[in-house]
Amino acid sequence: MKNKTRICILLAFVLLLLSACAGTAQGTDSTPAAEDEWNAPDEDYLAKLSQQDQEKENPQTEPKRVGVAMPTKTSERWINDGMNMKAKLETLGYEVDLQYADDDIELQVSQIESMIRNGVNCLVIASIDSTQLTEVLSQARDKGIAVIAYDRLLMDTDAVSYYATFDNKAVGTLIGRYIEDKMELKSASEKGQSYTIEFFMGSPDDNNAVFLYNGIMEVMKPYLKDGTLVCRSGLTEFEDTCILRWSEDTAEETCIRLLNEYYPGGDLDIACSAFDGFAYGILKAWQKKGFSMDKLPMITGQDAEKPAIKNIAEGKMDMTIYKDTRVLASKCVTMVQALLENGEPEINDTTQYHNNVLTVPSYLCEPVVIDRSNYEEILIGGGYYTKEQLFQ
């Protein structure tokens, strides 16, 4: 009995000890003091950690910025170019700073400087004077900012990676061939007939203007030589026919002067104009001279602006060159992506566009002739303009 009692007491003691231990273990979780020691992570902190993990796997960077410098709003095409570029770049997630410089070179330089200061990653530039940006382009190059020449080549600089444009010589060739076909110059030449012609060429500070002139002259020269085309003013060289800053007013003044001096009876057959804006100036000159609108010369143009298409539909102008700015913007955007995301830009010319420092890899879009016979199908059918936009 005595032993039994001892065993019972021992058992009770062991049980007591066990339960005390268990109690202490539970207490670790429940005592307020212990709670203070356990710094439970707050939800914000956990969220931050998980965001950091995500960022390591998939870095969330700031959107890259692209500066788009356009020359002017006075001509419709540049408004379309700017709008298309901005929309396409924004769709891809880029931040876009689009600026127009009112054909003022200093303003364009200061706009580009401010884009550089604001930390753009890439510059897309349609210059006013292609030779006047060398200094600001050096600043861009020194900061590692990529530069793309838009429509007009940037001259005298190594700070340009790509060039997106239209085939500028082809623009001239198309205008020349149109005149050749519609005036039937081949048969006129055979028959010894002749037509009078005057030239209104593009701006001397725009490389495109020279390409265009060369394209026109490739077709026109033989006819000027054999007397099928007669330029009474004798002004057939680029230097004599170019019009600074593509100014409509200057084209009008030039036309009035030429009509006064060489065509007082209004017997000018062809006004070979390199730009829709010049065509408007020529039409104004014709009206100011009081010549009959039924005896207009053949008038050419470039850009397929809305007023030009209206003129063509009304028989006041003969043709223009359509440059689909949507296509140009798309090609240029592939260049931006190539430079900023290691993409592969589309290039189709690596020989023609030397800017006095380097041959700039280029994409040349295709220009298209527009006249009365096809404007509806190509421009309206192709969704470039609506009928309302053209004829309202």
Q: Using CB under 6 A, list all residues that contact ligand BGC.
A: 75, 77, 151-152, 206, 208, 246, 275, 302-303, 323
Between 86 and 323, whose beta carbon lies closer to ligand BGC? Answer: 323
| Shortest distance, position 112 Cβ to ligand BGC, whole Å | 18
**Measured from the CB of residue 359, what is the shortest distance to ligand BGC in angstroms?**
19
Whole-number Å distance between alpha carbons of 15 and 19: 6
Cα–Cα distance measured from residue 242 to residue 274, given in angstroms and rounded to the nearest whole number: 9
Would you say 100 or 263 has its CB closer to ligand BGC? 100
Q: Closest approach of Cβ 203 to ligand BGC, in Å?
A: 7
Q: Minimal CA–CA distance to 331: which of 163, 214, 189?
A: 163
How far is CA 238 from its chain centroid? Answer: 26
- Nearest to ligand BGC of 211, 263 (CB atom): 211
Q: How far is the CB of 318 from ligand BGC (least distance, A)?
A: 17
Quote the least distance from Cβ 316 to ligand BGC, whole Å: 18
Query: Between residues 162 and 275, which has the closer beta carbon with respect to ligand BGC?
Result: 275
Kindly give the pairing relationship between strand 270-273 and strand 229-230. unpaired
Q: Is residue 212 within 8 Å of 201, Cβ to Cβ? A: yes
- Taking the complex as a whole, the smallest distance from the CB of residue 303 to ligand BGC amounts, in Å, to 5
Chain centroid offset of residue 100 CA = 12
Smaller CB separation from ligand BGC, 64 or 245: 245
Name the residue with the smallest CB distance to ligand BGC: 246
Tokens of 338: 């190539």
E strand intervals along 180-237: 195-200, 229-230
CB of 329 to ligand BGC, least distance (A): 14
Number of other residues whose CB lies within 10 A of the CB of residue 356: 10
CB contact set of 102 (below 8 Å; sequence gap of 6+)? 72, 73, 74
From CA 67, how far away is CA 65, in angstroms rounded?
7
Instruction: Report the residue number, 269 or 303, with the smaller CB distance to ligand BGC.
Output: 303
Burial 41-76 (b: 16+ CB within 10 A, else e): eeeeeeeeeeeeeeeeeeeeeeebbbbbbbbbeebb
Residues 6+ apart with CB under 8 A from 54: 60
Other beta carbons within 10 Å of 12: 10
Q: Which one, 129 or 151, has the nearer CB to ligand BGC?
A: 151
Residue 275 CB, nearest approach to ligand BGC (Å) = 4
Instruction: Pick between residue 185 and residue 332 the one whose CB is nearest to ligand BGC.
Output: 332
